[in-house]
């Protein structure tokens, strides 16, 4: 049986010795993460505004009134439809 060179003096669950990232690199990674979250949020807002602006039922019709006939219903739903993210995706993004 061989002996493994175990570190002594570490508490159970202490993983500090495994982290080799310096405080500066952690700060840079956090800044990059924050910037990417901002860009992703702006992209989402831009895409959603484009969907709302190009939806035929938003500009030509009263959105609270039901369609008069089946042809109007088909026209109202002919635009790009907004697809809500799944519950798992919403939980991950915090929305």
Residue 2 lies in a domain: no
pLDDT attached to residue 18: 56
Structural domain span for residue 72: 55-95
pLDDT attached to residue 78: 74
* Mean pLDDT within 52-73: 78
Radius of gyration (Cα) for the chain, nearest Å? 26
Greater confidence, 65 or 7? 65
User: Domain check: are 38 and 66 in the same one?
Assistant: no
Q: Is residue 28 a contact partner of residue 36, using CB atoms and an 8 Å limit? A: no
76 vs 71: CA distance, rounded Å: 9
pLDDT tens for residues 39-59?
999 999 998 888 878 777 666
On average, the pLDDT of the chain sits at: 77
User: Domain check: are 94 and 70 in the same one?
Assistant: yes
User: Domain check: are 49 and 60 in the same one?
Assistant: no
Instruction: Count structural domains, the chain.
Output: 2
pTM for the predicted model, two decimal places: 0.49
User: Domain check: are 41 and 29 in the same one?
Assistant: yes
């Amino acid at each position: 049986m061989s002996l493994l060179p175990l570190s002594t003096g570490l508490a159970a669950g202490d993983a500090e010795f495994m982290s080799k990232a310096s405080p500066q690199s952690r700060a840079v990674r956090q800044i990059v993460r924050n910037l990417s979250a901002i860009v992703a949020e702006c992209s989402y807002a831009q895409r959603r505004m484009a969907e709302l602006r190009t939806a035929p039922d938003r500009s030509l019709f009263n959105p609270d009134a039901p369609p008069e006939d089946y042809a109007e219903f088909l026209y109202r739903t002919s635009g790009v439809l907004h697809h809500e993210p799944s519950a798992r995706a919403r939980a991950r993004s915090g929305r």
